[in-house]
Amino acid sequence: MVNLVRGRRSFLGKLDREAEIVRYGDGGAERFFLVRDERISVHDSEDARVLAEMDGGRRVLSAAVGESGLLFTGGEDRNVTAWDTTSGKVAYCIDGAHSARVKGLVVFKKKSDDQTCEAPNVLASAASDGVIRVWDLRMITKEKPNPLAEANTKSRLTCLAGSSSK
C-alpha cells in the first residue's frame, strides 16, 4: 500500500490470493475491505491486519461502502446484505432483492457542504437481468421491503454508478 500524501510505501504484505473487489471505508483512511469469492475481510489501513471476516454464503459480485461502518454487498444469492463491519455480523438483508445476481450497488451519500441533510438512506441496486431498483433503507424490516423505484433497461448490466444531486 502506498501513502500518496507522503509518497512512500506504508506497508508491504502478502495476501493468500488476489481480491476481486477492494473498497475503502467512509472517510477512506481507517480501513479497507477485500472481497474474494464469498469471503469479505475488513483490514486496518495502517498495517493491513484483519479486523473482521464475514462469509457471504455465495459469491459476492458487488460492494458499496455506507456510513456508520456499514458495507453493502450483493451477488449470486440475489440479496442485498448490509454488514456491520465492526462486529462482522449482518445488520440487515433484503432477501430476494432481485430475480438475478446483483451486479452493482450505489449508496447515495449526502454532500459534504450540506450539513442540514440527514444521513443517507437511499441505495440503488442493479442485477444482470437489466433491472435497477432504488431502496429506502429506513423501510428495511424483517419483511421484504418494496423498492422506491424500479427500471428495466432490457439489457445485461454488469455494473452501476451513481451520484447524489439536488
The pLDDT tens digits of the residues spanning 144-163 come to 789 999 999 999 999 999 88
Domain 61-152 in CATH 2.40.10.480? The answer is yes
Cα–Cα distance measured from residue 113 to residue 118, given in angstroms and rounded to the nearest whole number: 12
pLDDT of the residue at 159: 92
pLDDT at 27: 64
Nearest to 48 by CA among 74, 79, 71, 16: 16
Domain range list for the chain: 61-152
61 in Cβ contact with 102 (< 8 Å): yes
| Banded pLDDT at 3 (limits 50, 70, 90) | confident
Collect all residues with Cβ–Cβ distance below 8 Å to 98 and sequence separation of at least 6.
74, 78, 125, 127, 129, 131, 133
**Per-residue pLDDT tens over the stretch 126-147:** 999 999 999 998 888 767 789 9
With a pLDDT cut of 90, the percent of the chain lying above it is 58
Structure confidence at residue 166 (pLDDT): 60
pLDDT tens digit string along 32-80?
Answer: 999 999 999 998 888 888 999 999 999 999 999 988 889 999 999 999 9
**Is the pLDDT confidence value at 117 over 60?**
no
Average pLDDT, the chain: 87
Q: Distance (Å, rounded) from C-alpha 35 to C-alpha 146?
A: 28
For every residue of 83-118, DSSP letters joined together read EETTTTEEEEEETT--SS-EEEEEEE---TT-SSS-
Q: For residues 33 and 125, give the distance between their C-alpha atoms in angstroms, rounded to a whole number.
A: 19
pLDDT band, residue 11 (cuts 50/70/90) = low
